[in-house]
Each structure stands twice: as structure tokens, then as C-alpha cells.
Amino acid sequence: MMDETPNGPDPTGTGPTPGGNLVEFTVSELSNLLKRTVEDAFPYVRVRGELSRVTRPASGHCYFELKDERAVISAVTWKGNYARLKVKPEQGLEVVCTGRLTTFEGQSKYQIVVEQMELAGIGALMAMLEARKKKLAAEGLFDAARKKAIPYLPTVVGVVTSPTGAVIRDILHRLADRCPRHVLLWGVTVQGERAPAEIAAAIRGFNALPIGGAIPRPDVIIVARGGGSFDDLLAFSEEIVVRAAAESAIPLISAVGHETDTTLIDFASDRRAPTPSAAAEMAVPVLRDLIEATLSFQQRLLRAAGRIMAGKRERVMGLARALPRPDALFALPRQRFDASSGRLRTALFQNLQRHRASFTHWAALLRPRVIGSEIQRCRESLTALDTRLDRAYGTRLRQAAISLEGCGRVLESVSYRAVLARGFALVRGADGALKRRAAAIGAGEALTLGFADGEAKAVALGKPEPRPAKPPAKPRGQGDLF
């Protein structure tokens, strides 16, 4: 049993240490010593384990844990380094992390600051791709209903691949042999960290080209890459590339690797080609075959038209045999025409005779003596009518004068001027209003008195006295007997 000292156990077993000769540290000093010790002892390590409790807060840093059957270690990758990771942390992945060990004073624990992360073996990589495939399939990106038909004869073919590899030369050579087309190359990196973003940007860039713009918009896009290892083709299985392929409004053909190679872009594309050369064959038909097919269609069209014309001709000839002969068809009208033309001369001569007789009759009636007698008779009738009209007009005028004179006498009898001539006067106020009652005249009011021979001005001297009221009339009928 170890001896104890005032400051703790005595590791030497020699007994108590008077005065406590151990160095005393503060908590911060001890934490810093531990931090330097751990960082100096493990400056750079590679750790293999399974990812768990992966979180990425709003700060952009990523926190997770690495574990195996018996132990767990905390890990963190800072925001600036997260974008450069080849493999993004996902729950359940088995990975190999490279970084440095350090301590976190706030919780008295140690952790590894991850700078690189890669999958631990091909099995983990396949598991990750399978999980990603299920996720994207659940979103409907691989549905057959989304796939578009490849145009039969595109005018412009867009190619997304490396500008320096053999793939673009194979595609151009195959297109030139089959059917030369206008080719637009969007050069990208086909492997490495930058490849996924460049491939997705190329697909979206082709779709962003306006129709009828300065740069022609492709009718079909080929995303191609030559053969390579499983790791080399991973760029075409990244989520950003798969989503860009699924969102493409232009029909897209994927031709990545060899026939046995499969990437996730193959499921999202509208059609998969086993090789880049096969993609070129899918994009365009053989021009020679197209010309031969067109000529064959032309010959078939001419033969069909000839057969139709021959059938129509036979039908017309059959119908013509059922029609009467032209001579028989026009025989009766011709006879009627001959008979009518024979009667026409006689009819014209008879018509001329009738008109001549009528003209002679009317000419006899138009002799000068007869015309003069008729004019004289009309003149006498007109003179007699004029005399009668004068007499009738004078009689009517006299009757109207007598009637007008009578009306004048009646009007004069009812005129107020006749009343004025009998000694009455017409009283008007200063405003010209007629004064019908004495009560309507005020004291000192200016008046105008109208007489039969003119008017005179007057002024009212006082208020007129009211007239005495009439005694009530006695009731008709029997009076009072008393």
C-alpha cells in the first residue's frame, strides 16, 4: 500500500514529502500542457472508423464521431476544408480520416481535426453509391416518364468531355463517317475534385443557351468519358452531376467508361451508350442510309402514284363506255337548230311587215292639219279654264274679306280698349303689374292709369277704405211666416 502525502500519494514509497514539493498548475496551464503534449506526440495521424452523429451547424463546420467496436473519438473538419473533402461525411460510412490530434479545453476531451477523408475500401464506396442511388430514385430522377426522345436528325450536337482526350476525336470521327453535324465542345475535367462541378456547369450551360442566339443551342448533348478505374469514374456519380442531367431540357446521352462500367448519370440520362463512339451513332443516323431510304420512299411514292393514276384512268374509261356517243347526244339539238334557223328568215320578214304597217298607220295620224287642229282645240280649252279660274279666285277672295271683317268686329267688341272708351281706366303699378283690387295699392305707390287715348301717371294718397261686406243672402225657399 502506497504512502500518502499531504499533496497526494507518494509514487516513490519513501514517505511523506515535507512542504509539498510537487509543481502546482492552474487548470488552464494543465490544459495547455496536455494540448501541447498530444499535438507533439501525434502531429499527423490516419484513423479508420465508422462515421456517426454527423452534424453541420450554421457556422459551416462539420462535427462527427469516429467509432469502432470498442472506442469513440470526436472529430471536426473546419468550414474552409469541408469543401475540399473528396468524400462528404455521411452517417454510417466507413472512412479513413487523415488529420492531427488536439484537445478541447472546454470539455476536457481530445479530438481529431480532419483534413482529408476517403472511403475505407471498395465495399464502403459501393454502399455509399447504392445509398445515393436509392435517395435519388426516391425523388423520381430515374423515372422512365421523365426521359425524352433523342431527335432523329439533330442540327447541333453538344459534347461534354475532356478537350485533350481521345474521346472527342472518336466522337468527331464517328459523326463525320455517319452524318456530319455541327459539334459544340464544352471542355471539362473528367476526374478529380473539380470534375463534378465542371460537368454539371457544362450541362446547365448548354441548356442556358438561347434558341436562335449567336451560339447555336444543341439539339442533343453527349456526356462522355473513356475507360478508367472505379475511382476515376466517381465524378459522374456525384449528386450535382446526376441532378444536372435529370434537369436538362435537352435530350442527353451518357457514354461514361466501357460497356461494363455503370455510373449514376446513366440512370438520369435519357439514353445510355456503352461507349462514346456508340453515343455518336445514337445521336445521328447514317447519311448514306438516309439518302437511300429517301430515294426508296421516292420510288415507292412514284409507283403508288402511277398505280393510282392507272386505276383512275381505267375507271374513267369504264364510265365513258356507259355514256352515249357524241353524235347521238347532239343529233336532236342539231335538228332543232336547223329547223329554227329555217324559220328565222320568214319570222324576221313577217316582223318587219308588221312594224312597217304600224309605222304607216301612225304616220297618217301625224299630218300637219290634224296636229294643228288638236293644238287649237287645246288652246281654246286652256283659255276657258283660265277664265273659270279667275272668276273662282275673285269669288273666294271676296268671301274671305267678308269673313275677316266679321271677325274684326267680334274682336273689337271683346277688346279691353272698348271698355276704356266707355270711361273706364286700366291701373298698373310701378313694376307694370296690373292692379285688380284696391287692397293691392299701398299709400304713396306710383301708378300708371291707362285710358282709351293714352296713359297718365298718378300717386296713391292713402289706404283705400274697405268696401262694406254684403249682407248674407237669404236662403231660398219658404221664408219666416212671422
Number of other CB atoms surrounding residue 30 within 10 Å: 13
Highest mean pLDDT among 124-128, 375-379, 474-478: 375-379
**Residue 1 above 50 pLDDT?**
no
Grid cell at residue 194 = 473539380
CA 381, CA 444: separation in Å to the nearest integer? Answer: 79
Query: Could you tell me the CATH superfamily of domain 140-288?
Result: Succinyl-CoA synthetase domains (3.40.50.261)
The region of weakest confidence among 294-298, 420-424, 440-444 is 420-424
Residues 6 or more apart whose CB falls under 8 angstroms from that of 160 comprise: 186, 188, 199, 202, 203, 206, 221, 222, 223, 224
**Residue 9 above 60 pLDDT?**
no
CA 359, CA 6: separation in Å to the nearest integer? Answer: 174
**Residue 467 above 70 pLDDT?**
no
The region of weakest confidence among 190-204, 227-241, 280-294, 363-377 is 363-377
| SS3 per-residue string spanning 314-377 | HHHHHHHHCCCCHHHHHHHHHHHHHHHHHHHHHHHHHHHHHHHHHHHHHHHHCCHHHHHHHHHH
**Residue 430 above 50 pLDDT?**
yes
The domain 28-120: what is its CATH number?
2.40.50.140
**Residue 293 above 70 pLDDT?**
yes
CA 283, CA 254: separation in Å to the nearest integer? Answer: 11
Give the pLDDT band of residue 464 (cuts 50, 70, 90): low
3-state class (DSSP) for residue 304? helix
Place of cell 503534449: 37
76 alpha-carbon distance from chain centroid: 51
For position 11, what pLDDT does the model report?
A: 47
478 alpha-carbon distance from chain centroid: 105
149 vs 376, residue with greater confidence:
149
Average pLDDT, the chain: 83
Grid cell at residue 456 = 297718365
CB 197 within 8 A of CB 255: no
Parse the chain into domains and list their residue ranges.
28-120, 140-288, 421-459
Q: Do domains 28-120 and 140-288 have the same CATH topology?
A: no
**Residue 414 above 80 pLDDT?**
no
321 vs 121, residue with greater confidence:
321
